Amino acid sequence: MRISMAISTSLIIQSLLLLTFCQGILGATFTFVNKCDHTVWPGILGTPKLDSTGFELIKDTSRSFQAPTGWSGRFWGRTGCNFDDSGTGSCATADCGSGQMECNGGGAATPATLAEFTLGSGSQDFYDVSLVDGYNLPMMVDVSGGSGPCASTGCNVDLNQKCPTELRVEGGGACKSACDAFKTPQYCCAGAYASPATCSPSVYSQMFKSACPKSYSYAYDDATSTFTCSNANYIITFCPSSLPSKSASRSNGSTDESGSGLLPSYESGSDSGSLPDSESGSGSMSQTMLADGSWLASLATGSSASTRPSRVIQFTTLMMAFVLFIGLVLKL
């Protein structure tokens, strides 16, 4: 009898340890949805590496990936790609420079619309959609499950249609940032302009912000552009056909529920710029203020249409299985 009880106790302890481990690695599910009228080739850059770093997503399809707790990185959509049967090729916009469909650690060439995430370890996730490195595709991030503000964010406007001539990429498939176009310290938040006190929004970043008020428009645009949620999964939609349903009251101060607006006409200006000193897009999440006042570390550089259950539901399922297991053990 004592041996049986000892075995049962040992099994219970091991099961608890396994349950704790499973809870820690669940992380979040990222689901990519393509509602564009053309194929998109999403790129992925982050740590640790997910199941893919780049793949083909034809219109009206989706694909999901599981990311562990603590994952940090970014997603973007490549367009105008040409890949042969071996996966060798390149893309017209947001190419990652690997010469293959898989990005293999390469980041997006500017201009590119970026979705950036840092999954909290036992705390909040931080996420944003950034136009700091320019724009090539409409993109929205929506939340499935979770607790906290959990607002949708992104840019549901085709900025390529109203891109100023001086920012427009040849062919009109993307719109550069002012930093990328002019490469001056004022527009890149570099040198004497490398602080929130000296780097103010430029006429170009204000244009982006007016059209997409929830998206990062320049390097120090944290207050209205960084969002948080806990225990959630995320849906990244290219060319969303409908606006998100999350209320603007949960958007960390954003005043536009749709995450989009009318793009005004601006003349070229000499206002000081406020885009990052790098063309890799690392500026927008590198200085996100955490709830405790500390700064969020820089982001790593480094198919069903339905979304998977939230992490709370996944954890509940594990708990039920654990209880059933313990019941069977006690009957032995």
- What pLDDT, on a 0 to 100 scale, did the predictor assign at position 321? 56
Structural domain for 233, as ranges = 2-331
**CATH code of the domain in which 178 resides:** 2.60.110.10
59-72 per-position pLDDT tens digit = 999 999 999 999 99
141-170 per-position pLDDT tens digit = 999 999 999 999 999 999 999 999 999 999
Number of domains in the chain: 1
How would DSSP label each residue in 99-127? SBSS-TT--PPSS--EEEEE--SSS-EEE
Assign 65 to helix, strand or coil: strand
Please give the helix or strand (H or E) that residue 7 lies within, else none. helix 2-25
- In angstroms, the CA 302 to CA 73 distance is 8
How would you write 318-330 as a 3-class SS string? HHHHHHHHHHHHH
pTM for the predicted model, two decimal places? 0.71
Residue 93, phi then psi, degrees to nearest 5:
-130, 145
For the chain, which residues score pLDDT lower than 70? 1-25, 121-122, 242-332
- What pLDDT, on a 0 to 100 scale, did the predictor assign at position 328? 59
AA identity, residue 280: S
